């Protein structure tokens, strides 16, 4: 059945999250389908940053560590984020980058299983994750082993100290069953570190209910915290007493302002911190969370699934005849909030779409990736984006662009 644009407009009129779009600064004439790489700007961020710069830093200077709550910002923002992750208070903090936090968590997990000699990791995961796995393995004298994400649960052995994988794959958007995979890893006596880079703020999570041990997530994608926004760390409450992360810095000290030579670990989730956090980025991230006020993640996940379903149906209807194929699961229960399509001219097609104000991205060798942030993407945006793609491919419009070296287009 042919999908009509009017039907998409009707879906937008009935959308219970339609009001959230007004919480964002969106450039006119642009359909932004790259929120899985960098989220749009929430309107709450600019006034917060102006106040932080002019008053807190400019006028109050160093006093703002106390008077403006800079010192407590990592934990305060973590408390706000915890509800979006299905975590309890005191299990989430905001600090550092995903790679740095993954390093901390893998080392800490391996130290909790000192008699085991293996790190099990996802083959084909985001490369930086596996670079960290290899580095941690060299550092601790462990053996890294890489298998496809769907095989992690069956590949874990009694020699595995820790397994790590993405909840949602960055290329295909395939989503793992967190509870089932975690249970299988625990049955073998190992621990698990989940990467939530394409999950946090996009899909419904239940870290505590799923039995997760540790997790890292991204602040600048679906959580809209801005470029370089700090990452978040989850450490299950049951592991916090034994949590021994390798980057012992003064913000993770039990009493940092005593300036003692010896290190005494801070209680609770604060032990995941290291050095002075990037306060301006952290405050921007905290303000960006205002966009989720009064919104349930189950509603975000439901709309995200519907947006992806519509995109896939339209791609089948309008693009398949041009040799465009789907690289993402059709089953919405096994998929995050982005869709990847394949075509031999993917690089040029994405460039031509960007020139028309349809912003997606390219991943080598032939993937066109489109992210659907439910707080600000409309159903009619999906229709218009696919219609533009149909025109680009049908007319060969990418051939009109000046040649450039193929690479990541964002």
Does 126 participate in catalysis according to the annotation?
yes
Domain 47-292: CATH class, spelled out: alpha beta
User: What average pLDDT does range 161-182 have in this prediction?
Assistant: 98
Are 345 and 286 contacting, i.e. CB atoms less than 8 angstroms apart? no
Marked catalytic residue, from 126, 159, 309, 316: 126
3-state secondary structure of 338: strand
Spot the catalytic one: 48, 303, 318, 369.
369
Following DSSP, what letter does each residue of 51-118 receive, concatenated?
Answer: HIIIIIITTTGGGHHHHT-TTTHHHHHHHHHHHHHT--TTSEEE-S-HHHHHHHHHHHHHHTSTT--E
For residue 126, say whether it is annotated as part of any ligand binding site.
Answer: yes
pLDDT at site 143: 98
Annotated catalytic, 195? yes
Find the catalytic residue in 23, 48, 104, 221. Answer: 221
Residue 131 assigned to a binding site: no
| Phi, psi (rounded to 5 degrees) for 273 | -80, 165
Segment 332-378, tens digit of pLDDT: 999 999 999 999 999 999 999 999 999 999 999 999 999 999 999 99
Q: Is 328 annotated as a binding residue?
A: no
Q: Is 251 annotated as a binding residue?
A: no
DSSP, collapsed to helix, strand or coil, labels residue 127 as: helix
Task: Find out whether 229 is annotated in a ligand binding site.
Answer: no
Q: Is 152 annotated as a binding residue?
A: no
pLDDT band at 404 (very low <50, low <70, confident <90, very high): confident
Q: How would residue 398 be classed by pLDDT, with cut points 50, 70 and 90?
A: confident
Residue 253 is given by DSSP the state: B
* H/E segment holding residue 250: none
- Angstrom distance (rounded) from CA 21 to CA 41: 11
CA dihedral 145, 148, 149, 151 (to 10 degrees): -80
Q: pLDDT, tens digit, for every residue of 90-139?
A: 999 999 999 999 999 999 999 999 999 999 999 999 999 999 999 999 99
Which is catalytic among the residues 103, 170, 220, 379? 220
* Distance between CA atoms of residues 410 and 211, nearest Å: 35
Neighbouring-strand partners of residue 214? 193, 235
**Across all residues in the chain, what is the average pLDDT?**
96
Residue 13 annotated among the catalytic residues of the structure: no
Catalytic residue, from 96, 195, 213, 381: name it: 195
To the query of whether residue 220 is one of the catalytic residues in this protein, the response is yes
- pLDDT at residue 409 in the model: 53
pLDDT at 408: 54
pTM: 0.96
Residue 193 φ/ψ, nearest 5 degrees: -115, 120
Q: For this structure, is 43 an active site residue? A: no
Residue 410 has pLDDT above 70, yes or no: no
Tokens 């229960």 label which residue?
333
pLDDT of residue 76: 98
DSSP annotation of 393 reads: H
Cα separation, 280 vs 219, whole angstroms: 13
pLDDT tens-place string over residues 20-59? 999 999 999 999 999 999 999 999 999 999 999 999 999 9
Contact (CB, 8 A) for 354 and 367: no
Query: What topology does CATH give the domain 5-32+296-400?
Result: 3.90.1150
Q: Give the domain ranges of the chain.
A: 5-32+296-400, 47-292
* Whether the Cβ atoms of residue 165 and residue 195 lie closer than 8 Å to each other: yes
d(CA 370, CA 74): 31
Residue 99 marked as a ligand binder: yes
């Amino acid at each position: 059945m042919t999908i009509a644009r009017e039907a998409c407009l009707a879906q937008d009129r009935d959308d219970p999250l339609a009001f959230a779009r007004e919480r964002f600064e969106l450039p006119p004439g642009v359909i932004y389908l790259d929120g899985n790489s960098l989220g749009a700007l929430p309107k709450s961020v600019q006034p917060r940053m102006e106040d932080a710069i002019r008053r807190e830093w400019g006028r109050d200077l160093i006093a703002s560590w106390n008077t403006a709550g800079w010192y407590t910002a990592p934990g305060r923002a973590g408390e706000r984020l915890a509800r979006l992750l299905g975590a309890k208070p005191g299990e989430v903090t905001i600090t550092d980058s995903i790679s740095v936090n993954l390093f901390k968590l893998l080392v800490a997990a391996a130290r909790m299983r000192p008699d085991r000699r293996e790190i099990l990791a996802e083959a084909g995961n985001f490369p930086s994750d596996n670079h960290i796995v290899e580095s941690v393995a060299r550092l601790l004298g462990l053996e890294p082993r890489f298998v496809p994400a769907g095989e992690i649960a069956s590949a874990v052995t009694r020699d595995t100290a820790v397994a790590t994988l993405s909840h949602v794959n960055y290329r295909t958007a395939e989503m793992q069953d967190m509870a089932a995979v975690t249970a299988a890893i625990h049955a073998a006596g190992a621990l698990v570190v989940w990467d939530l880079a394409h999950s946090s703020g996009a899909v419904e999570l239940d870290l505590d209910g799923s039995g997760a041990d540790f997790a890292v997530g991204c602040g600048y994608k679906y959580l809209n915290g801005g470029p370089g926004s700090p990452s978040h760390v989850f450490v299950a409450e049951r592991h916090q007493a034994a949590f021994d992360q390798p980057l012992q810095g003064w913000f993770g000290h039990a009493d940092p302002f005593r300036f003692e030579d010896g290190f005494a670990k801070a209680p609770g989730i604060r032990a995941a911190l290291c050095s002075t956090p990037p306060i301006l980025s952290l405050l921007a991230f905290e303000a960006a969370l205002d966009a989720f006020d009064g919104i349930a993640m189950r509603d975000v996940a439901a709309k995200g699934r519907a947006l992806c379903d519509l995109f896939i149906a339209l791609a089948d209807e309008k693009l398949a005849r041009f040799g465009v194929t789907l690289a993402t699961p059709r089953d919405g229960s096994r998929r995050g909030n982005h869709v990847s399509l394949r075509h031999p001219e993917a690089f040029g097609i994405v460039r031509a779409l960007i020139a028309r104000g349809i912003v997606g991205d390219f991943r080598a060798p032939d993937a066109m990736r489109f992210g659907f942030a439910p707080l600000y993407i409309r159903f009619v945006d999906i229709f218009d984006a696919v219609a533009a793609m149909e025109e680009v491919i049908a007319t060969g419009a990418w051939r009109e662009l000046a040649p450039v070296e193929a690479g990541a287009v964002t």
